[in-house]
Homo-oligomer: A and B are copies of this chain.
Amino acid sequence: VMGVNTRPISTQLHAAADYVPKEGEGKINLLIDLESPKVANMEEMSSGKKVFCRCWLSGTFPLCDGTHVKHNAACGDNVGPLIVTVKSE
């Protein structure tokens, strides 16, 4: 239930063993909850807007604090946040 991947766990583990990382692929989380086996975050919203970090460098993770701007400038990357708005019906 951790994603939209509905394959059996045994198939996922097999796929992981066969996975060929992309050139340059490596750890992207150097800061957040490093002792956790997997950092997933559950967020419940009822209205308004939230800006969520996807660079793993925010001081306010899981929210974005703008650090992606510094990361992009330093590394030539082009990452940015996810902005979720809840539409009142």
How many chain A residues touch B (Cβ–Cβ < 8 Å)? 72
Contact B24 A83 (CB under 8 A): no
As a 0/1 sequence over residues 52 to 78 of chain A, the CB contacts with chain B under 8 angstroms (1 = contact) are: 111111001011111011111111111
Copies in the complex: 2
Q: CB within 8 Å of B: which of A20-70?
A: 20-31, 33-34, 36-47, 51-57, 60, 62-66, 68-70
Whether the pair B16, A70 counts as a contact (CB closer than 8 A) is: yes
**Residues on the B chain within 8 Å of A5, using CB:** 64-66, 69
Question: What's the Cα separation between A3 and B89 when bound, in Å?
Answer: 25
Do B27 and A74 touch (CB < 8 A)?
A: no
The 4 A-B residue pairs with the shortest CB-CB distance, nearest first, are: A5-B66, A40-B80, A16-B73, A19-B70
